[in-house]
Chains A and B, each alone.
Chain A
């Protein structure tokens, strides 16, 4: 699933490690989500949306 996390994270000047710490996951998880290798669970997707002050559908794009 495509997402805009890399861009939104860069806008805030956060590293992957910064975002991982705020979201309560590992840096590897953030990297895997950003590269589209791993789709997060709904709770984590909501957490990420809250961190970026966006709706989930603004973060994750349906690529089907």
Chain B
């Protein structure tokens, strides 16, 4: 029963993660490839959809944490803590570097790189946790 609930929770979380990723792609590339930049309504709708799906994703993560067993929860929370720490430290370093005019690329490149870095850090921290308690 526990295993079945975990499988359902994992599948639900994977669906929400995929939906959120798709909504990010839509909000990022939609204005250039699917509709004109002169259509702000469509762009705002894509951003609103991205935010709404993001809220659903957060809820799915919290529900997933309730479904999994206590060791899996510890591994997940440890990985999330490391990810938050890296995001916080690197994010503030970026802000400080930007304030000192040390950042060459303006715009969303830095934010995109930070979210990508956080994703990689989470995956590494999660698998390290899985191996540690194997």
Please list the residues of chain A having a beta carbon within 8 angstroms of any beta carbon in chain B. Answer: 21, 24-26, 28-29, 31-32, 37-38, 40-41, 44
Q: Is the CB of B71 within 8 A of A24?
A: no
Residues of B within 8 A of A25 (CB): 2, 69-71
- List residues of chain A with CB within 8 A of the CB of B70: 25, 29, 40-41, 44
Which residues of B61-90 have CB atoms within 8 Å of chain A's CB atoms? 69-72, 74
Q: In whole angstroms, what is the CA distance A38 to B72 when docked?
A: 11
B2–A32 CB distance below 8 A = no
- State whether A29 touches B1 (Cβ < 8 A): no
Write the nearest CB–CB distance from B71 to chain A, whole angstroms: 4
Contacts of B85-134 to chain A: CB distance below 8 A: 130, 132-134
For the complex, what is the distance from the CA of A44 to the CA of B71, rounded to whole Å? 11
Within the complex, what minimum Cβ distance (angstroms) separates A51 from chain B? 14
Residue of A nearest to B72 (CB): A26
Chain B neighbourhood of A37, CB < 8 A? 132-133
- Complex contact B74–A31 (CB within 8 A): no
In the assembled complex, how far is the CB of residue B133 from the closest CB belonging to chain A, in whole angstroms?
4
For A24, list chain B residues within 8 Å (CB): 1-2, 69
Q: Which residues of A contact B34 (CB under 8 A)?
A: none
**Contacting pair B1 A28 (CB below 8 A):** no
A29–B71 contact, CB under 8 A? yes
A21 to B69, CA, bound (A): 12
Does B41 reach chain A (CB closer than 8 Å)?
no
What CA separation (Å) do A21 and B6 show in the bound complex? Answer: 13
Q: Are A32 and B72 in contact (CB under 8 A)?
A: no
A26, B70: Cα distance in complex, Å: 9
Q: Which of B1, B3, B6, B133 contacts A32 (CB 8 A)?
A: B133
| Minimum Cβ distance to chain A for residue B131 (Å) | 11
